[in-house]
Chain A
Amino acid sequence: SQELEQSPQSLIVQEGKNLTINCTSSKTLYGLYWYKQKYGEGLIFLMMLQKGGEEKSHEKITAKLDEKKQQSSLHITASQPSHAGIYLCGADIYTGTASKLTFGTGTRLQVTL
């Protein structure tokens, strides 16, 4: 099983609608990062969350890390075509010997007109 599970795997929303993407771990997350990727390109950093209960916003995107630090959500308000892409959560997960920056499988977002 994946160390980081993202849901949904893909999402199609109409422009102007709100949406939420979730990232869940079975282990405590010491650092949670949200990235956006356009198909076939590199990752663009969106936000970093470290403290349980922390919430950050940038433009129309809000990310939260739950109190237990095992789940994060990314919420987009009034989606636009420019929001389309693949959203990836990454986290520092302790493997027993070291912490590694591990990523989920991503959520592919399409925004229709």
Chain B
Amino acid sequence: ETGVTQTPRHLVMGMTNKKSLKCEQHLGHNAMYWYKQSAKKPLELMFVYSLEERVENNSVPSRFSPECPNSSHLFLHLHTLQPEDSALYLCASSPTPDRPMNTEAFFGQGTRLTVV
């Protein structure tokens, strides 16, 4: 248990559906992240939020829309996804987004997304 909780753990959605992934942490961290993990590829950083403000967007398609209503919650809204978007989506948090830093990032269990 890392203190970062993601729901749902598994999600199957059609290309025309709209769904949301949720991430929650009560570690008192100020930074939250979304990563995408595809088969045989390194973890790809998608978004970084610091104190509810988006500080980084790594050229992610607009069909992925993040939302950070407060420092404890992070969402990833999905719409009109493609089959190649199927992957494990991981949420992480850290005390600060400033890097390098003296502490690790804490990861959730991930949401396994399958787009059909």
Contact = CB atoms under 8 A, between A and B. Distances in A.
Contacts of B66: none
Interface size range on B against A: 20 to 34
Contacts of A101: 33, 45, 99, 105
Interface residues of A, number: 26
Contact of B41 (A30, A42, A102, A105): A105
A42 B102 contact: no
B104 A48 contact: yes
Given A88-B43, A102-B42, A42 B108 contact: yes
Interface string A25-48: 000001101010000111111001
Contact of B42 (A4, A43, A44, A92): A4
B99 A43 contact: no
B104 A41 contact: no
Contacts of B60: none
Contacts of A100: 45, 56, 99
A31 B90 contact: no
Contacts of B45: 100-102
B90 A42 contact: yes
Interface of A: 2, 4, 30-31, 33, 35, 40-45, 48, 50, 88, 90, 92, 98-106
Interface of B: 2, 4, 6, 33, 40-43, 45, 56, 88, 90, 92, 99-110, 112
Given A31-B101, A42-B110, A101-B99, 9 more contacts: A30-B99, A30-B100, A31-B99, A31-B100, A40-B112, A41-B110, A92-B100, A100-B45, A100-B99
